Amino acid sequence: MIGRLVRAPLLHFAVLGALLFGLQQSVSLRRVEPRATIVVSADDVERLRAQWQRETARRPDAQQLQASIDRYVDEQVLLHEALHLGLDRRDPVVRYRLLQNMRMTLADTPIASDDAALLRQAQALNMAARDLVVRRRLIQAMEQRLVSGVEVDPKAVAAYIAAHPQRYAVPMRYDFSQVFVHDDPQRARQVLAALYAATASPATAGDAFALGRTFVGLSAAQISARFGSSVAAAVAAAELGTWIGPLQSAYGWHLLRVERRLPAQNAVPDAALLRRAGYMLRRQRERQVLLAAITDLRSRYRVRLLADAGGGGGA
């Protein structure tokens, strides 16, 4: 009998139907209905365009405006999620701000003494979304919630340091002497000739200079920051122990002699470097995690753009 049942077509059909029904139900349960519709109005687009122009002193092109709109939608998604999770009722700063706003708004009318009632009224008025301070606080709280699990271990920090030698390694450094001439390149050349002939002393020749006559352990970037890129390039190319110049900077004219080059070194991971690199690595990972989380959250919302981001017209 069991063999006949196994071979029965009707049984096969029933089992297959049950499997298909179960699969359909499983897919239906996993489908997430949009929680809300985020509307980007023409006024929102114009406000974003004006904000960009105010901050950069120029009008945004279509790509830049679209990036601003995308950031605005991301912030709205984070705000909706924060409200969905009830962060406006649990965050002490937000609670205080909303209660303060409600008491000021209803100053001339009888109000409930119960904080919970005032918070319900604030929620009904959508005050959390309208108050700039509250909105920014909720968005930041949601961002922190999304990246709260990001951690970096010592091995990852060490690997990060090794992968970024240009940022953490000790660059080549230079010890050099200088003689400064304030404003006359011809006199600077005369002083250079006297230095070559050893008829002038580097300690007394030229003019006084506020930064001194000797410099120890400066990198090319540090030299460039003090004297300019052309002086830094000349120091890097100079022959040891030979006077070069005159080299012009914003201060005047410089005669330089490179005494020693200290070769570049790999970074020594002391406590300060580990903290700095660990912070940078954690921030990098947090940005990646936050971007992925926002992308996932955006799938739970509909977005309606009621304006043309390129030309500002209606759509």
Ranges of CATH 3.10.50.40 domains, the chain: 170-262
Is residue 179 within 8 A of residue 246, CB to CB? The reply is: no
Element housing 173 (H / E): strand 173-181
pLDDT for 41: 92
pLDDT for 6: 47
- Tens-binned pLDDT, residue by residue, of the chain (315 aa): 555 544 555 545 554 555 545 545 444 334 446 678 999 999 999 999 999 999 999 999 999 999 999 999 999 999 999 999 988 888 898 888 988 888 888 776 666 567 888 888 888 888 888 888 999 999 999 999 999 999 999 999 989 988 887 788 888 999 999 999 998 899 999 999 999 999 999 999 999 998 999 999 999 999 999 999 999 999 999 999 999 999 999 999 999 999 999 988 877 777 888 899 999 999 999 999 999 999 999 999 999 988 665 544 434
Distance CA 18, CA 24 (A): 10
Distance CA 223, CA 226 (A): 5
Is residue 200 within 8 A of residue 189, CB to CB? The reply is: no
Distance CA 188, CA 192 (A): 6
> CB burial class (10 A; 0-12, 13-18, 19+) of residue 216?
exposed
Tokens of 2: 């069991």
State the alpha helices, DSSP H only, in the chain: 2-6, 9-30, 42-56, 62-84, 87-90, 92-105, 115-124, 127-130, 132-146, 154-163, 165-168, 185-196, 220-227, 229-237, 271-298
Distance CA 244, CA 250 (A): 18
Query: Which CATH architecture does the domain made up of 170-262 adopt?
Result: Roll (3.10)
